[in-house]
Amino acid sequence: MSFERDVVIVGGCGRVGLPLGLALADRGLSVALYDVNALAVNSVASGHLPFDEAGAEAALSRTLGARLAVTSDPAIVRTGESVVIVIGTPVGGHLSPEPQAVPRAVETLAPQLVNGQLLILRSTVYPGVTALVERLIGRLGLGIDVAFCPERIAEGRAMTELYELPQIISGRTDTAVDRAEKLFRNLTEHIVRLLPEEAELAKLFTNTWRYIKFAIANQCYVIANDFGVDFERVRQALTYEYPRAADFPRAGFAAGPCLLKDTMQLAAFNNNNFVLGHAAMMVNEGLPHYLVSRIEQQHDLSDMVVGILGMAFKAESDDIRSSLSYKLKRILQFKAKAVLCTDPYVRNDLDLLPLEDVLAEADLLVIGTPHRVYSSIGPSTPVIDIWGSVAEGVRV
């Protein structure tokens, strides 16, 4: 069967789908981005990114209207030989994964799916979701190949990593895997073939491993800090020219839309028998509380205006999803006279103030996100900086 387009990406104007679509279009494929977010669609259609991503705007200008289409009309799905599903897979209100999120999205799209397509799941999923989608496609009576090819990019580096990192691809049949491999070889020659269940666990294991590494660093920070020792001096010493400790991370807020969520998904998958994962959650999620408790030992917060510098979940990003800076803000609002926040990248928080105003009005500053711009501010007010980006040392 002949299709009008090579690829249609569902969720194509999001932080994962848009870079993928731009990369494929930049390599000469005909790509359509379908998204239900009308604001994001309008932004991309007018040639502007709805979020920051290095290198993506140039790719958008090169491909839009030539090899790249953008729409909120689901009928576009019928035109793609490959349909890539990239939607959020949230944890529910009871801190439980929602394994039906992707199958529900596929079922909603069912009237637009046609025989001969390749359906690629790109979202991080609960183990077994690919099999659920395969059974759903079977019940619908569709002759469609199903593959699971998890995204592996880091925000801000997507337009580099899509070409440089190996792509994990998986499917139940050789045909599905071969078709997925052919698509992703447009981006890289480095392909790793797995079974769907192996690929699902590979993605969860990756994010959980990173989350646990950050928890180890944060727990060591607390131990050192309570002992009156500067953790960063210790960390720099133990990592210096010592390859077995080279990946020992700095202390800091471990947040974002994936790491905690995927650690929770893995714990739920193992019947909540994941002591190490749960401990990591307690350490990382508890760091804002620990920080405030240490500040209270030195300052009377009830009579102080506290400024938080940086609200994104990581440095040089505009993404505030699951940012622990907001948790810190909520704790301080209960304790302090006032809390003022600023971030040079975040655009969708109307409560943020210019940096100059926060520096002028705050009695105490806390580095929430170590954006590079803060390293040169030279504030005259006290600074709490567990990242080591502004203050001399990281002791609190």
From 194, 216, 236, the end of a domain falls on: 194
Number of domains in the chain: 2
Could you tell me if 350 and 367 are in contact, meaning their C-beta atoms sit under 8 angstroms apart?
no
Q: Do residues 341 and 311 make contact, with C-beta atoms less than 8 angstroms apart? A: yes
Say how far apart CA 98 and CA 193 lie, in whole Å: 26
Helix (H) or strand (E) holding 307: strand 305-309
- pTM (two decimals): 0.94
Asked if residue 184 and residue 109 are part of one domain, the reply reads yes
107-154 pLDDT per residue, tens: 999 999 999 999 999 999 999 999 999 999 999 999 999 999 999 999
Q: What is the pLDDT of residues 232-279, one digit of tens each?
A: 999 999 999 999 999 999 999 999 889 999 999 999 999 999 999 999
Let me know if residue 215 belongs to a domain.
no
User: Of 143, 177, 194, which one is at a domain's C-terminal end?
Assistant: 194
Residue 123 backbone phi and psi in degrees, to 5 = -70, 155
Question: What CATH number is attached to the domain comprising 233?
Answer: 3.40.50.720
Q: What are the tokens at 302?
A: 């009830």
Buried b / exposed e over 257-271, threshold 16 CB at 10 Å, is bbbbbbbbbbbbbee
Which tens digit of pLDDT belongs to each residue from 271-300? Answer: 999 999 999 999 999 999 999 999 999 999
Residue 70 belongs to domain spanning: 5-194
Same structural domain, 109 and 185: yes
